[in-house]
Structure 1
Amino acid sequence: MTGVTILGAGVAGLCVAHELTTRGASVRLIDPQGGLTGCSRYAGGMLAPFCEGETAVTEVVTLGQGAADWWAAAGVQVERRGTLVVALGRDQRELVRFGRRVPQHRALSAPEISELEPALADRFQKALFIQDEAHLDPRKALSVLRDGLARRGVSIVTDGPISGQLIDCRGLAAREDLLKLRGVRGEMVILRAPDVTLHRPIRMLHPRHPIYIVPRGEGLYMLGATQIESGDQGPARLRGIAELLNAAYALHPAFAEAEVLEIGADARPAFPDNMPRVVKAPDRIHVNGLFRHGFLMAPALAQEAATLVLNSRKPEHIE
């Protein structure tokens, strides 16, 4: 039985640990914070490979298409309701541009929008619907993975010796080894808006401030999309949060009465091309650079890392 030590218990580390243990490997999982902090907690949880293809490289679209099935097989509740993309009247060119870059969409008229999302009735004349996409609750998904690992005898420890093959999933903490790694800051808000009922992630396009809003059930919504070239992992800034809240109000005025339950910010690790990857170094294997594709790409990278460790075979997306 192969022994593996994994550094970092965010989405990358937990996915790698899950994949390895289901293939019979013995795993130790080390995280100084016990896996309870980090940018994975602030993710949107959208499993939307086609929408991400608007700006992402082709590999993200290809590899991300297996994410929903992987998470469901791991015991996570996955909502397969697609993604609705809208734009305000003055931003209709953005909708046309998005449609050209995401050919998997279906164009909707105002009556079709109303049928799909009654809360948005008469608010938008046109929209794009990408049916084969899904979403999940990131914090619940991480909890499911942790519980599954615990049942297989794997607990998260804050320190300890390294034995066996080392897999480094520390995100930005690995910058001393991955010199091209950079931080991309993101901010988010969790709202309670019982007067608004949305059934699927909504992306509202804007030339400068596109947003997404993801339903979490029981009137809860996660609002996000700020993307700032900065490794600053400090608190959220007023400007970014104000832009998110203004955009939510523009999507539906009832969000003006929403309760703000949480405001968060962190910096996501990214390589220059924003492509997540597995990197083979002399003393370890890195799984890093997930950028804004953490829950979408972590399953594919975990499978590649496990194949490299257990089969001594170099998968396609490894440096």
Structure 2
Amino acid sequence: MVIHVLGAGVAGLTTAVRLAEEGRAVVVHEAATELGQRAASWLAGGMLAPYCEAATADPAIIEPGLRGIDFWADRVPVERRGTLVLAAPRDAADLRQFAARTEAHRLLDADGIAAFEPDLAGRFRQGLFFEDEAHLDPRQAMATLVRRIQDLGGTLLWGSQAEPAALSSETVVDCRGLKAHAPGLRGVRGEMVLVRSRDVSLARPVRLLHPRWPIYIVPREDGVFMIGATMIESERDGPITLRSAVELLTAAFALHPGFAEAEILETGAACRPAFSDNLPRVTQSGRHVCFTGLYRHGFLLAPELSGQAARAVLSLMEAA
């Protein structure tokens, strides 16, 4: 019996790979004509940072997020280098508040910061280091999952506008983000910039706490950095705005002036699906399972929720 997975973002791909690893016949339907086209997952930072995210989210994401790091590490390259959180001296109160809202970190002084990130030596007096966090390259991870699904006999159909109603008698997992059939979804727009710098080197994601422009910078290969991300309550699609671009680049310059000479490689914006509590859900109606609502925690929580979706599908098939 074939299982139809709708959507080739991080939700759909993690669900499909779990089902394929269980020996099930999987067909992934993706409306875009190529991987990453119009997908919020393609523009993600790839931070696997459950402790940091819990500063503004439900602490219930921590344990699933930690398990998610292991899921990814078993399948794709993952950098387990932790996360560094910094604030300018004038924003020291923000750093203290962040520390109070989080756990599993240690306080660093200027020498400690320089030991982890030599290029930031002398620029910050205090920081927080979250040793158990990690990061990955989302685009590399998604491409790896596609190959994994295909190697296990699965099929990916690009440009397939499949709708659950047209597959009413089939087993379906709807992972189409905002287009999924799930009441209560809203869009949260995120914007990012990719740059290449030969003047700045970072080994791990750095979060800069700033009252106007809080950002994160995630290193990738060949001197590339992802700078993100705005959080705007809007379902408006389209390119990044001038204001957001200026704010992101200004904050990067505040982290290190070497970013002033960086090359801008790409800008992007996408709407992420979210429920009112900003936590994802797996629901079931008949032979159809819906998995959506990852908000800004796509790569962090997709492994846990895809496991729930896969178990729901397997239970359906056993009952058939």
Sort the TM-score into its range (normalised by shorter chain).
over 0.9
> Whole-Å Cα distance in 2 between the matches of residues 262 and 61 of structure 1?
31
Deviations 1:96-122 (A, max 9, x none): 000001121100011111111000000
Deviation at 1:58, TM superposition (A): 2.3
Q: TM-score, normalised by structure 1?
A: 0.94
Partner residue in 1 for 2:291: 287
Residue pairs, 1:191-230, within 5 angstroms: 191-230=195-234
Deviation at 1:283, TM superposition (A): 5.0
Deviation at 1:208, TM superposition (A): 3.1
Aligned partner of 1:243: which letter? E
Deviations 1:176-225 (A, max 9, x none): x3221000000000000011010000000022321000000211000002
2:26–2:155 CA contact under 8 A, matched in 1: no
Q: Compare 154-163 and 276-285 and name the one that shifted more.
A: 154-163
Aligned partner of 2:219: which letter? P
Q: Compare 240-249 and 154-163 and name the one that shifted more.
A: 154-163
Residue pairs, 1:1-319, within 5 angstroms: 2-34=1-33, 35-37=35-37, 38-74=39-75, 76-157=76-157, 158-159=159-160, 162=167, 164-174=170-180, 177-311=181-315
Deviation at 1:153, TM superposition (A): 2.2
> Whole-Å Cα distance in 2 between the matches of residues 225 and 188 of structure 1?
5
Structure 1 residue matching 2:245: 3-state secondary structure: helix
Structure 2 residue matching 1:235: 3-state secondary structure: coil
Aligned partner of 1:9: which letter? A
> Whole-Å Cα distance in 2 between the matches of residues 125 and 312 of structure 1?
56
Structure 2 residue matching 1:66: 3-state secondary structure: helix
Deviation at 1:281, TM superposition (A): 2.5
> Whole-Å Cα distance in 2 between the matches of residues 88 and 54 of structure 1?
19
Aligned partner of 1:129: which letter? F
Aligned partner of 1:293: which letter? H
- Alignment length, in residue pairs? 309
> Whole-Å Cα distance in 2 between the matches of residues 208 and 124 of structure 1?
18
Q: Compare 34-43 and 93-102 and name the one that shifted more.
A: 34-43
> Whole-Å Cα distance in 2 between the matches of residues 5 and 217 of structure 1?
34
Q: Compare 87-96 and 160-169 and name the one that shifted more.
A: 160-169
Deviations 1:43-97 (A, max 9, x none): 00000011001011122112111111101212x1000000000001211111000
Q: TM-score, normalised by structure 2?
A: 0.93
Identity among equivalent pairs (%): 50
Aligned partner of 1:11: which letter? V
Deviations 1:252-311 (A, max 9, x none): 000000000000001100001000111122451111000000000111011111111113
2:289–2:312 CA contact under 8 A, matched in 1: no
Question: Residues 164 and 283 of structure 1: is their aligned pair in 2 closer, same or farther, counting only changes over 3 Å?
Answer: closer
Deviation at 1:3, TM superposition (A): 2.7
**Structure 2, unpaired ranges of 5+:** none
2:206–2:216 CA contact under 8 A, matched in 1: yes
Deviation at 1:156, TM superposition (A): 1.5
> Whole-Å Cα distance in 2 between the matches of residues 284 and 311 of structure 1?
12
